[in-house]
Homo-oligomer: A and B are copies of this chain.
């Protein structure tokens, strides 16, 4: 279990999933939530790799995905920065929210839940919190 800290924000990685994917998802989350501001510099590939004790190539992999997402911009020699475009981030949020939601609904349908049952289910999960 390794931890990384961006300003006053921290995230952890483990061995349950691909490392680059965990870095990717955590950074996506921090940027989408606005925890890292527009145009703000994010850690260099080498720095984050050093702090997480993983290979720079692995961080690079994550950063390349973030660039494809349109969430960051890389400037050779300067560093990597969150996009200036707030609308691009909103677009990203909506795209993935739609994707996650459709995916979730498909899986629930596969288990034989209809729409009303899914709505009920979410309510119980929300109030109850974690698993049961």
Contacts and interface: CB of A to CB of B under 8 A. Distances in A.
10 contacts: A25-B110, A29-B110, A32-B112, A93-B113, A98-B131, A100-B108, A104-B104, A105-B130, A106-B130, A115-B131
A126 to B, nearest CB: 6
A93 B121 CA distance: 12
Contact of A111 (B33, B104, B109, B119): B33
Nearest to A100: B107
A15 interface: no
A96 B111 contact: yes
B25 A131 contact: no
Interface of A: 25, 28-29, 32-34, 93-94, 96-116, 118-119, 121-122, 125-126, 129-132
Nearest to A115: B132
Contacts of A32: 110-112
A94 B100 CA distance: 20
A111 B69 CA distance: 14
A28 to B, nearest CB: 7
Contact of A102 (B28, B96, B114, B129): B129
Nearest to A101: B125
A102 B125 CA distance: 7
